[in-house]
Chain A
């Protein structure tokens, strides 16, 4: 524990840890010192000079070292002749800080007057107007008139596109460097900088393409003026017109808390529309940040709901009786099939939906399978993170192991948090087959050929330094992230089994555990409910002749072989939020409400259950997944909870041990969080939303030993399987901006997605005669597709990286053939 220091701020006694800055000490006492450049998440720079205060320190006699006392016996204070910045001065014992004296007020006022000399004061058209620290602080501390001449203001370009997501208004910038410092220190992508000096100082980007960072949106949150604004919200609405709805991001297993801003719009026919997504503070999950995928692509797909209806107009209508008829038909088919039915559930479903599906399957005696490309959940439920865990608490003495995962692309916020932990002194061991963005922050980087994941983990313990960091006896915490970079369902399950052995005996401790880097928001929830995965190898044969009830999964779109298998199924019932390849094959389509239109909970990869709230009304003709399932179950003679997600959660908590003790009430509880953001603290922490809707709660750990349905225990390395005869092996990897169903509607990010491409080592490519950027035909699992070739020298020469969710059928490592300079003829396409 650091020493605590006592000081007095404006006659309020404050006790804070040693090293705290005066501005933070005052904030903790509820006293606001105006700041622009200072941000509690970053080191101070003292650039804007706004936080001027009077600071007095006790006087000491130089000869004796004793404090000098006043006549009344109180210590004599020595004030500096000039004002000091509260953001750069750490507290000291006995310090007296005066923030509201005439001298301090005059200093703050003059700084504001100076900052405003060049500011255009175009608040009426500024997107920040209404939630702008400069506006607020000018009202609170600024002068009512300027002594500078309006005509002498500098005129600068007002619409400078730093990248395609972020616009800069050069006139409004007050050169606080918050954005530059965020990119340098927090995001680790230093792509912004100052150019020129003095009044000509300008924010520039020196990356190609401009502002090439996946965390760029956060700079607009912490920008204290309207200089940086996002492209998606340009002139979208005034902040005070927006309604808020708390939600959770669904793009990756991190479960970032966010708030949707909703407004009714004439442009959209008078309906409610989500105008933007802003981070919602949860210091244990996403702090106050959000990645660009979450910010710019988390809600657009609901706009496609319209096309869902148009395309299936013959089969879908807003008519409730039509919906009921469809449910009756689905129920008939399922109850006729009984154990011959197969339920396939996707990881986008909320805990409540999965619970109802599981009960339905149980009563029918049917199989329920979790449709996932990655396995190993049996281990994360037993050895995952438990209550009290917080990646933000990891630091010196702790160890983080990241295996077979490119966190930057698979879970950007975990990348930020793991990077920050490593910078705080945690030992970061990175075991991946190729170079990733996390390499430069890792303490140890271990490279292995694709296929040797399990062997590599086995070998880690034997290494001198790495072994010591991983040793079970060490006092520090150990968190293991494992992913599916180059691995399929079985490979990742094997890897999880091996990683689990590292955690034996310590997982019950907080901040110790195994974390799966899943591809869906609620994969962990599906595992916690005990769903077993659909084995990608057998799924096609399993589907044949069955009555299949597919919920929130698109097997036909992922793999043409599964599409074929579905055609040979007895009947196919599909429940989804959008039109997919699978709904096109379906006999009965049940349109479900998207997560922005309903309530529910997701379980994050860190095993934290979090609530999401409805942001917009459900489109006519759709219902929440749990209630569709319950309606079907009712027709099959099983009474399930259909009324509200809250009631389903109550039942879920009563019957599943992992969820015991959870309720919506418990999940909605909030506690004090630091730094303070939003509302009256815009100037301090930025425009991220204050969390008033719940921080969520951890699940309790399963105690039974895991019985893996997929991990074989002693799986041979890739080179010992039949793949050893293959010249080239394709491995699936994840790219942040992919062509996923929920991603493509976000038009703003389309240019970042690009065409379907594969990465290959130049040496291997030249053998086949491929050129960088050229087209080629790739033959994967018997399916030919056209792809763009990209050279990458950082990957092994024997593999081809195939990106998931680009329409290429790959679920695990497989043999691949690449035919250069060819296109698929029209005949074979058909």
Chain B
């Protein structure tokens, strides 16, 4: 009896360990292997484009106004048909996000009237210099999609007069 009791207690103590041995492991071999982030994950921002390659961002700076950390800086300029970046009259000539300031709250997404700024799934942000933490427009903007042209584009007069498109309510 004296010999068996401690042995049983040890088994009891190892119960969780023993059960876990037969479970599917949760450890991910990062960085070789990456875990799928959730659909609404808030990672590094991306500036989106329309299918024709025009930038969705119209430089309204509402994201900068909504930002509680004052991480976004926008300057806008005027589009012309000879040099068109986005539909409508206005585009962002400067767009900067300081990733050290950003708290990834997603208010910028909410504020955006054109769904141009979207928090993506990139969470791999490391910097060796504070200056490197400032992401400029060319770092944030996604490449032109297939079939679309990069900006600036030459467009027909009267073709892109609306800045804010008619949009569906967000589904997700």
Contact assessment for B60 and A234 in the assembled complex, using a CB-CB cutoff below 8 Å: no
User: Contact flags (1/0) for A218-245 with B, using CB distance below 8 Å?
Assistant: 0000000000000000110110110000
Contact assessment for A158 and B89 in the assembled complex, using a CB-CB cutoff below 8 Å: yes
Most chain B beta-carbon neighbours within 10 Å: one of A159, A238, A265: A238
Given contacts A125-B89, A235-B59, contact A266 B166 (CB under 8 A): no
B97 CB within 8 Å of chain A: no
Contact assessment for A240 and B65 in the assembled complex, using a CB-CB cutoff below 8 Å: yes
Known: A125-B58, A150-B166, A237-B61. 13 other contacts (CB 8 A): A122-B163, A124-B62, A124-B114, A125-B90, A125-B163, A125-B164, A158-B89, A159-B89, A238-B61, A238-B65, A241-B64, A266-B94, A266-B96
Q: What is the bound-complex CA distance between A240 and B74, given in angstroms?
A: 13
Chain B, residue nearest A130 (CB)? B65
What class of interface size applies to chain A in its complex with B?
10 to 19
Contact assessment for B58 and A124 in the assembled complex, using a CB-CB cutoff below 8 Å: yes
A643 CB within 8 Å of chain B: no
Most chain B beta-carbon neighbours within 10 Å: one of A121, A158, A235, A240: A235
How many residues on the B side are at the interface (Cβ–Cβ under 8 A)? 25
Q: What is the bound-complex CA distance between A150 and B167, given in angstroms?
A: 12
Of B8-16, B75-83, B144-152, the one with at least 4 CB within 8 A of chain A: B75-83
Contact assessment for B58 and A267 in the assembled complex, using a CB-CB cutoff below 8 Å: no
Number of A-B contacts (CB under 8 A): 52
B73 CB within 8 Å of chain A: yes
B161 CB within 8 Å of chain A: yes
B88 CB within 8 Å of chain A: yes
Which chain B residues border A235 with CB–CB below 8 Å?
59, 76-78, 89-90
A residues near B, CB below 8 A?
121-122, 124-125, 129, 150, 155, 158-159, 234-235, 237-238, 240-241, 265-267
B43 CB within 8 Å of chain A: no
Given contacts A235-B76, A267-B75, contact A125 B88 (CB under 8 A): yes
Chain B, residue nearest A150 (CB)? B166
B residues near A, CB below 8 A?
58-62, 64-65, 73, 75-78, 88-90, 93-94, 96, 113-114, 161-164, 166
Which chain A residues border B113 with CB–CB below 8 Å?
124
Which chain A residues border B88 with CB–CB below 8 Å?
122, 125
Which chain A residues border B93 with CB–CB below 8 Å?
267
Which chain A residues border B76 with CB–CB below 8 Å?
125, 235
Contact assessment for A266 and B65 in the assembled complex, using a CB-CB cutoff below 8 Å: no
Given contacts A124-B62, A125-B88, A155-B161, contact A234 B78 (CB under 8 A): yes
Chain A, residue nearest B78 (CB)? A235
Q: What is the bound-complex CA distance between A122 and B58, given in angstroms?
A: 11
**Cβ of A239 to closest chain B Cβ, rounded Å:** 10
**Cβ of A171 to closest chain B Cβ, rounded Å:** 10
Q: What is the bound-complex CA distance between A240 and B70, given in angstroms?
A: 13
A-B contact pairs, 28 of them (CB 8 A): A124-B60, A124-B62, A124-B113, A125-B58, A125-B60, A125-B76, A125-B88, A125-B163, A155-B161, A158-B89, A158-B161, A235-B76, A235-B78, A235-B89, A237-B61, A237-B75, A238-B60, A238-B61, A238-B64, A240-B65, A241-B64, A241-B65, A266-B73, A266-B75, A266-B94, A266-B96, A267-B93, A267-B94
Which chain B residues border A129 with CB–CB below 8 Å?
60
Which chain B residues border A266 with CB–CB below 8 Å?
73, 75, 94, 96
**Cβ of B106 to closest chain A Cβ, rounded Å:** 18
Q: What is the bound-complex CA distance between A6 and B96, given in angstroms?
A: 58
Q: What is the bound-complex CA distance between A124 and B112, given in angstroms?
A: 9
Most chain B beta-carbon neighbours within 10 Å: one of A125, A265, A267: A125
Which chain A residues border B163 with CB–CB below 8 Å?
122, 124-125
Which chain B residues border A240 with CB–CB below 8 Å?
65
**Cβ of B112 to closest chain A Cβ, rounded Å:** 9
Given contacts A124-B113, A235-B76, contact A241 B61 (CB under 8 A): yes
Most chain B beta-carbon neighbours within 10 Å: one of A122, A124, A155, A158: A124
Please pick, from A122, A155, A265, the residue contacting B75 in the complex, using a CB distance under 8 A: A265
Chain A, residue nearest B58 (CB)? A125
Which chain B residues border A238 with CB–CB below 8 Å?
60-61, 64-65
Which chain B residues border A158 with CB–CB below 8 Å?
89, 161
Which chain A residues border B62 with CB–CB below 8 Å?
124
Q: Which 9 A-B pairs have the closest CB atoms?
A: A124-B60, A125-B90, A266-B94, A235-B76, A124-B113, A125-B163, A238-B61, A235-B90, A125-B58
Contact assessment for B73 and A122 in the assembled complex, using a CB-CB cutoff below 8 Å: no
Q: What is the bound-complex CA distance between A159 and B88, given in angstroms?
A: 11
Which chain B residues border A267 with CB–CB below 8 Å?
75, 93-94
Q: What is the bound-complex CA distance between A124 and B93, given in angstroms?
A: 15
Chain A, residue nearest B161 (CB)? A158
**Cβ of A135 to closest chain B Cβ, rounded Å:** 13
**Cβ of A233 to closest chain B Cβ, rounded Å:** 12
Q: What is the bound-complex CA distance between A267 and B92, given in angstroms?
A: 12
Chain A, residue nearest B136 (CB)? A266
**Cβ of B50 to closest chain A Cβ, rounded Å:** 16
**Cβ of B165 to closest chain A Cβ, rounded Å:** 11
Chain A, residue nearest B88 (CB)? A125
Q: What is the bound-complex CA distance between A774 and B166, given in angstroms?
A: 56
Which chain A residues border B166 with CB–CB below 8 Å?
150
Chain B, residue nearest A267 (CB)? B75
Chain A, residue nearest B92 (CB)? A235
Which chain A residues border B58 with CB–CB below 8 Å?
124-125
Q: What is the bound-complex CA distance between A335 and B64, given in angstroms?
A: 57
Which chain B residues border A124 with CB–CB below 8 Å?
58, 60, 62, 113-114, 163-164
Q: What is the bound-complex CA distance between A155 and B94, given in angstroms?
A: 29
Contact assessment for B164 and A122 in the assembled complex, using a CB-CB cutoff below 8 Å: yes
**Cβ of B94 to closest chain A Cβ, rounded Å:** 4
Which chain B residues border A237 with CB–CB below 8 Å?
61, 75
Chain A, residue nearest B64 (CB)? A241
Which chain A residues border B89 with CB–CB below 8 Å?
125, 158-159, 235
